Amino acid sequence: MEKSSDIELRLLIEAIYLKYSYDFRDYSGASVKRRVAHALRQFNCATISALQERVLHDPAAFMQLLQFLTIPVSEMFRDPSHFLAIRQEVVPLLKTYPSIKIWIAGCSTGEEVYSMAILLREEGLLERTIIYATDINPASLDKAKQGIFSLENVRAYTANYQQAGGQRSFADYYTAAYDYAIFDKTLRENVTFADHSLATDSVFSETQLISCRNVLIYFNKKLQDRAFGLFHESLCHRGFLVLGSKETLDFSAYSKQFEPLVKQERIYRKS
């Protein structure tokens, strides 16, 4: 017999989908369950049913809940060796294209976007690149557009940047103001930030490189395969797909459609 709380959780996720078109139905269950439990405490709701009633009748409450359901954990040049591998193994091939389109799927608050933009600028590619940075959370996208990060975090990012093969002083890319680092706005001149869901939306452009890091771990296999399908459709012949350090195509229906370029760093190429 299914537990009442599991039934309530399914109903909440279904209600969110029907009312707001945000589709968490194929997210990994354990993590969603914990995040809803956390939201219950923040909303002071005794049951998931009570939370459901609130979000169904109050769109503002839903937007609040969305902040708990999405996980904005990110950093710049996260996994420096990954960015070093992009610089060394992918950039020389990207340079052969007259113009480049890059899709950063699940860009959250923008750390990956600015990291990629800095790398491309140093490699002389940023001016001929368009970056599509997409996420389902409008609050995260707003933050990404601002490019303002806490100075305390930026100190850790500086070490990452250097280990990732950074060629300048990281401070060249931002202005410090009080406890914040405001990133150079020319880095995002060619960035289009957009609301896009890997669960419900379709492909919007042909791309040469797609970066989707630490997003797919929150999806079940079925939804992962949907995302891989979108990436496969969007990527040009021999395009690049880069994933998070614990994400793999190995268990996917698309494992044969891509080949590893730098397996250790989760850099794949469309076969």
Partner 1 sequence: MNDAAANPIRGIEAIVVGASAGGVEALLNIFGELPDTFGLPIIAVLHLPDERRSQLAQVFARRLRVPVREAQDKEVIQAGTVYFAGPGYHLSVEHDRSLSLSQEDRVHHSRPAIDYLFASAADTYGQGLLAILLTGANQDGARGLAHVKQSGGTTVVQDPKEARIAVMPLAAMAVCAPDHILPLSRIASLLASLESSPC
Residue number, 37 or 176, with CB nearest to partner 1: 37
* The token pair that represents 263 in the structure block: 């397996």
Residue 20 CB, shortest distance to partner 1, in Å, is 22
| Residue 4 binds partner 1, judged by CB under 8 A | no
Query: If residue 237 lies in a helix (H) or strand (E), which one and from where to where?
Result: strand 235-243
| Residue 224 binds partner 1, judged by CB under 8 A | yes
Residue 5 CB, shortest distance to partner 1, in Å, is 9
| Residue 34 binds partner 1, judged by CB under 8 A | yes
Nearest to 43 by CA among 52, 31, 30: 52
Alpha-carbon gap, residue 22 to 209, rounded angstroms: 26
Query: If residue 192 lies in a helix (H) or strand (E), which one and from where to where?
Result: strand 191-195
Residue 123 CB, shortest distance to partner 1, in Å, is 24
Alpha-carbon gap, residue 135 to 213, rounded angstroms: 12
| Residue 248 binds partner 1, judged by CB under 8 A | yes
Amino acid at 37: A
| Residue 31 binds partner 1, judged by CB under 8 A | yes
In this structure, what DSSP letter does residue 98 have? Answer: S
Alpha-carbon gap, residue 112 to 97, rounded angstroms: 22
| Residue 62 binds partner 1, judged by CB under 8 A | no
Nearest to 104 by CA among 219, 194, 17, 218: 194
In the list 67, 153, 197, 245, the residue contacting partner 1 (rule: CB under 8 A) is 245
**Long-range CB contact pairs, 143-148, < 8 A, 24+:** 143/109, 143/110, 144/107, 144/108, 144/109, 144/110, 144/113, 144/193, 145/110, 145/188, 145/193, 147/110, 147/114, 147/182, 147/183, 147/184, 147/185, 147/187, 147/188, 148/180, 148/181, 148/182, 148/183
Asked if residue 137 lies in contact with residue 145, where contact means CB atoms within 8 angstroms, the answer is no
Residue number, 23 or 265, with CB nearest to partner 1: 265
Residue recorded with tokens 């060629």: 167
Residue 7 CB, shortest distance to partner 1, in Å, is 13
| Residue 25 binds partner 1, judged by CB under 8 A | no
In the list 246, 259, 263, 271, the residue contacting partner 1 (rule: CB under 8 A) is 246
Site residues for partner 1, 99-138, by CB under 8 A, read none
| Residue 79 binds partner 1, judged by CB under 8 A | yes
Quick one: which segment of 85-93, 95-103, 148-156, 212-220 binds partner 1 (CB under 8 A)?
212-220
Residue 66 CB, shortest distance to partner 1, in Å, is 15
| Residue 81 binds partner 1, judged by CB under 8 A | yes
Residue number, 179 or 250, with CB nearest to partner 1: 250
Residue number, 32 or 148, with CB nearest to partner 1: 32
In the list 24, 132, 218, 231, the residue contacting partner 1 (rule: CB under 8 A) is 218
Q: Which residues bind partner 1 (CB under 8 A)?
A: 28-31, 33-35, 71, 73, 79, 81, 214, 216-218, 220-221, 224, 245-248, 250-251
